Amino acid sequence: MDSLTSQRAGLESGEFSSVELVEATLSRAEAEGRTLGAVVGLRGESALSEAAASDSRLRAGEARSPLEGTPFLLKDNMVMQGEPTTCASKILEPFISPYEGAMAEKLRAAGAIVIGRTNMDEFAMGSSTENSIFGPSHNPWDPTRTCGGSSGGAAAVVAAGVTGYALGSDTGGSIRQPASFCGVVGMKPTYGRVSRFGLVAFASSLDQIGPMTRTARECAWVLEAISGHDERDSTSIPEPAPRLESALDGDVSGLRIGLPKEYFVEGGTDPEVLARVHAGIKELESAGAKIVEVSLPHTEYVVATYYLVATAEASSNLARYDGARYGRRAEGVQDLDEMYRRSRSEGFGDEVKRRILLGTYVLSAGYFDAYYRKAQQVRTLVRNDFQKAFDTCDLIAGPTYPETAFGLGAKVDDPVSMYLGDIFTVSANLAGLPAISIPCGFAEGRPVGLQLLGPALGEAGLLRAADAFQRRTDFHEKRPVLDGISERIQELEKAR
Ligand code: GLN
């Protein structure tokens, strides 16, 4: 019962109750989840009493949604009333949310059970879940490697079968890249599709919440439950939640898949990864899709553009952590200025400080035109590239990330090499487009992700293609071997 599909079937047939499922899940979350460094907080008793209420609805035939009675985890940057939200940061360590965020609200209204929170890079800044006050998350396929980031904990719990689904947030790849590293499905919806109310802001024009699951169908269930207009988020699209499951008919005949020539150049991407991605595309072709070449000529500028826009917005968003209003305040300060300075110096980790500095710099008088304004102009060009490409294709395919999961510690002291890996994921955020990563094979035993990108509001088309792919392949059915993993992780931690 480690997938949402099997959990839903078991609950509907009465094979087990939600209380039994939540109990079993809590103990796995406590064991595997904590060992992997993927779970950072659990709510046991209240989750169990919600499960009991869910059982009464299930027995009465009053299930509120396909997610009724199923447990899941929030990423630790999504607030829930009365629960901690830390963003894996010292500065928010003492923070308890006074209000309910849209994700907790919507999924609880759908009958789903929040059982706790997953690990992440501090304020979602990173690609490895190593920038965290809780320590790193380990990849369930190989604990010496990262599970990607920043939603690494969410990807790891789904891959390890702790929960059937989890929520991630994606500002520049943070759902899709960990999904690819851990061999699960991760989708970043169209900007504005899912409410950001109660999501701690990193870069507001890029941030978007999305599901992490094993299959495209499960992804459709979760996305239906979390999307829809929310007037508390001014960028929320005034559209009702889309009906997605009915689109999953397995039919991709005539679908035009664009391959951007810039995504398949020699040298940049691990050849093994490219081979698996090509094989995945072939699979869709043999199912009837047509392959066309497209061009995204500004690809070489997207990483620089993203790191200017994202850091500028982060520097402004993170100004609110001043020691006065939220979370942690430095002790023994003499005056206001010292309170700001020390609260922030002590509260933020190195990567967050680096980004605040960079973002403040690019917004400052004299540099604004050269960096921030220029980046906004390039962003428009990137958006135009996609518009043009979608004149000749229905969706775009390529790798999610240039390599498989890298080793823990391999890049954490080399920010530029960490940033460069985001080449294939940040464009969807800059252009506001939906994109999904699906498992398409293994390289040296590690999962590889195939990324599909679609036009705005094109989630149904992406999910249809992803589902068609999964009907023909079994990569999503493979499971990491977890026996003995806790001993291995203990040894690794000792050696650190
Ligand atoms: N890796 C990217 C970064 O560090 C993306 C992070 C994200 O999507 N939250 O900014």
Q: Which atom of ligand 1 is nearest to the CA of 151?
A: 9
Task: Identify which of 458, 383, 368, 369 has the alpha carbon closest to the alpha carbon of residue 187.
Answer: 458
- What spacing in Å lies between the alpha carbon of 286 and ligand 1's midpoint? 34
b or e along 371-401 (b: 16 or more beta carbons within 10 Å of the residue's beta carbon)?
Answer: bbebbeebbeebbebbeebbeebbbbbbbbb
**C-beta of 310 in contact with ligand 1 (< 6 A):** yes
DSSP per-residue letters across 431-443: HT--EEEEEEEEE
150 is catalytic: yes
Which atom of ligand 1 is nearest to 127's Cα?
1
Question: Could you tell me the CA-to-CA distances from 312 to 67, 225, 357 in Å, in that order?
Answer: 38, 32, 9
Nearest to 307 by CA among 205, 424, 402, 426: 426
User: Could you confirm whether 253 is annotated as catalytic?
Assistant: no
Burial class (CB in 10 A: 0-12, 13-18, 19+), 65: middle
- Residue 435 near ligand 1, beta carbon < 6 Å: no
| Cα distances (Å, whole numbers) of residue 441 to 225, 274, 436 | 29, 11, 15
pLDDT at 379: 98
Q: Are strands 256-260 and 290-294 parallel, antiparallel or unpaired?
A: parallel
Helix (H, G, I), strand (E, B), or coil: what is residue 62?
A: coil
Say how far apart CA 133 and CA 87 lie, in whole Å. 9
- Residue 275 DSSP one-character state: H
Please indicate whether residue 171, judged by its CB atom, sits closer than 6 Å to ligand 1: yes
Does residue 321 sit within a domain? no
Inside any domain, residue 268: no
Backbone angles phi, psi at 43, to 5 degrees: -120, 100
Give me the residues of the chain with pLDDT under 50, please: none
Task: State which ligand 1 atom lies nearest to the alpha carbon of 422.
Answer: 1
The pick from 118, 150, 358 for probing ligand 1's pocket by mutation, whose C-beta has the most ligand atoms within 8 angstroms, reads 150
Indicate whether residue 183 lines ligand 1 (CB < 6 A). no
Please compute, for residue 231, the number of CA atoms within 13 A of its CA located in the half-sphere on the CB side.
0
Q: Is the CB of 173 under 6 A from ligand 1?
A: yes
* 63 falls within a domain: yes
Classify residue 94: in a domain, yes or no: yes
Give the number of domains in the chain: 1
* Cβ(88) – ligand 1 distance below 6 Å: no
Q: Which of 54, 75, 127, 132 is catalytic?
A: 75
Distance, in Å, from the CA atom of 304 to the CA atom of 145, rounded to the nearest integer, reads 26
**The CATH number of the domain where 468 resides is what?**
3.90.1300.10
CA atoms within 13 A on the CB side of 249: 6
Token pair belonging to 13: 């047939």
Structural domain harbouring 223: 4-258+458-495
pLDDT of residue 493: 87
Calculated CA dihedral for residues 483, 132, 204, 300, nearest 10 degrees: -80
Q: Give the strand order in the sheet containing 446-453.
A: 39-42, 113-118, 71-75, 166-170, 208-213, 185-188, 435-443, 446-453, 395-399, 256-260, 290-294
Could you give the CA distance from residue 288 to residue 242 in angstroms, rounded to a whole number? Answer: 26
H or E, element range at 117: strand 113-118
Given the DSSP bridges, would you call strands 113-118 and 39-42 parallel, antiparallel or unpaired?
antiparallel
Pocket flag, ligand 1, residue 429 (CB < 6 Å)? no
Q: Distance, CA 9 to ligand 1 centroid (Å)? A: 35
As a three-state string, the secondary structure of 355-402 is: HHHHHHHHHCCCCCHHHHHHHHHHHHHHHHHHHHHHHHCCEEEEECCC
Best mutation site among 76, 77, 120, 125 for ligand 1, i.e. most ligand atoms within 8 A of its Cβ? 125
The predicted structure's pLDDT at residue 2: 87
Q: Is residue 337 part of a domain?
A: no
174 is catalytic: yes
Q: How far apart are CA 315 and CA 360, in angstroms?
A: 6
pTM for the model:
0.98
99 within domain boundaries: yes
The answer to whether 455 and 189 have CB atoms below 8 angstroms apart is no
Say what the pLDDT of residue 217 is: 98
Exposure string (b/e) for 425-461, b if CB count within 10 Å is 16 or more? bbbbbbbbbbbbbbbbbbbeebbbbbbbbbbbbbbbb
Atom 4 of ligand 1 has which residue's CA nearest to it? 126
Contact between residue 452 and residue 390 where contact means Cβ atoms under 8 Å apart = no
* Candidate of 121, 175, 176, 417 to mutate for ligand 1, largest count of ligand atoms within 8 Å of Cβ: 121
The pLDDT score that the predictor gives to residue 231 is 98
Position in ligand 1 atom list of the atom nearest CA 124? 9
Number of other CB atoms surrounding residue 48 within 10 Å? 16
At residue 314, the pLDDT reads: 98
Q: Is the peptide bond preceding residue 150 cis, with omega within 30 degrees of 0? A: yes
Residue 354: inside a domain, yes or no?
Answer: no
What is d(CA 89, CA 31) in angstroms, rounded to the nearest whole number? 23
> Closest ligand 1 atom to the C-alpha of 351?
4
Q: Is the separation of the CB atoms in 414 and 126 below 8 Å?
A: no
Is 483 part of any domain?
yes
**CB of 210 closer than 6 angstroms to any ligand 1 atom:** no
- The atom of ligand 1 lying closest to the CA of 171 is 8
* 403-440 pLDDT, tens digit each: 999 999 999 999 999 999 999 999 999 999 999 999 99
Contact present, 408 and 102 (Cβ < 8 Å): no
CB 471 within 8 A of CB 250: yes
pLDDT value at position 1? 76
pLDDT at position 179, please? Answer: 99
